[in-house]
Structure 1
Amino acid sequence: MARVTAELLARTAAELADESGFGNLTVSAVARRLGVKDPSLYAHIANARDLKTRVALLALDELADRVAEALAGRSGRDALVAFAGAYRAYAHEHPGRYAATRFPLDAETAAASAAPRHSAMTRALLRGYGLPEPDETDAVRFLGSVFHGFVSLEATGGFAHTPRETDASWAWLLDTVDAALWSRRPGNA
């Protein structure tokens, strides 16, 4: 049995979330995995919500690092494809953690998390399209909705009964998003 630390607790919980689903994550399951009694975890967490918050924060950090690496040195369509691909790959590799990135955080926790990094990276990507406000804010929401919607449907088998490969639909989606963003550029609208 390893000495339980806050970091070990969060990583173990994230692994369990990937294996069993974020919605199924419990303090008892984490305690069993660590080989300790439930009460010993309360030295590091306040309750089950706190446990899920820690997984969300860890996932937001991991995903932000992955997206930042994917975006480095890219702009325009190339950045869009790298950005979207990083999100989709993370969701495939870590389904429970990806679900955790959508866990509602209180305002103070969200502000101190990697969530502002995600927003800043999205806006940096969009600068390559030259969108003025309020189009840039609308585009941030558009990208989040489109990418999360596709990835979520894909994760739940929403495309299982269609003859077209999901990668082909993903490529079509990226082409369409790119064209839509270019169409909103001043002088093109």
Structure 2
Amino acid sequence: MARAGLTADRVVAAAADLADSIGFDKVTVTALARGFGVKDASLYSHVSGLQDLRTRVALLAAGEFADRLSEAVAGRAGRDALVGFAHAYRTFALEHPGRYQATQMKIDPAVAQESSAFRRTVDTIYAMMRAYRLTEPDLTDAVRMLRSTLHGFSDLEADGAFRADRDVEASWERTLDALDLVLKNWPAGPEGDSKKGDGHEDRHADE
């Protein structure tokens, strides 16, 4: 019998909070049950196992991440949107390390397709990139560069890998300046590749 007061939503939210505290990869049903003061069996009324629990946390985190990103770019365009997007990305990754790690989890494609969370993040990225008027394959290349840069910077910062005397905030601002400059002056690709378009490319290559 399910313990009174426990619901699937409450269990998943607690697991996400635990992930932020100890790391997503360390979240277990046993650790979560201990936090609730119940036996493991009490949680199996709400999740089918560890994989199901982690998948649900990933979907929850992806939805929260998508909300944060879309709010950051609303009403903005060009560099202003890029900066808002980047700041929201980095802030989420640093404030919610476990949740952010969960958004990187590979989940069943069928499960992902049923949720709008991951798609909304991709939609926000591509909508933000429209002002740079790139077409495929340059658009996908640029999106990959952007995601790699933001992920790498945030991940390294969270791990305390930036040890030089240079102020991290100063490096971050210069990174955003560089990203904007590159996107505005995207290099010409091999002959036949697209370069500039009308800013309304709808094909999302990386989803």
- Deviation for aligned residue 1:38: 0.2
Identical pairs, percent:
52
TM-score of the superposition, structure 1-length normalised? 0.94
Aligned length: 186
TM-score of the superposition, structure 2-length normalised? 0.86
Q: Which residue of 2 aligns with 1:84?
A: 86
Q: Which residue of 2 aligns with 1:57?
A: 59
Partner deviation per Cα, 1:56-101 (whole Å, 9 max, x = no partner): 1111000111111111100000000000100111112111111111
Q: Which residue of 2 aligns with 1:105?
A: 107
CA RMSD in angstroms, aligned pairs only: 1.4
- Structure 2's unaligned 5+ residue stretches are 187-194, 198-207
- Deviation for aligned residue 1:136: 1.0
- In the TM superposition, structure 1's runs of 4+ consecutive aligned residues that sit over 4 Å from their partners are none
Alignment of 1:133-172 (within 5 A): 133-159=136-162, 161-172=163-174
Distance of 1:104 and 1:179 partners within structure 2: 32
Distance of 2:52 and 2:114 partners within structure 1: 15
Change (3 A) 1:5 1:143: same
Correspondence 1:70 to 2:69: no
Distance of 1:142 and 1:90 partners within structure 2: 19
- Deviation for aligned residue 1:47: 1.4
Distance of 1:75 and 1:15 partners within structure 2: 33
**Contact 1:119–1:140 (8 Å) recurs in 2:** no
The 10-residue stretch of structure 1 (16-25 or 105-114) with the greater mean CA deviation from structure 2: 105-114
Q: Which residue of 1 aligns with 2:123?
A: 120
- Deviation for aligned residue 1:2: 5.8
Out of 19, 37, 40, the position equivalent to 2:39 is: 37
**Higher fraction of helix:** 1
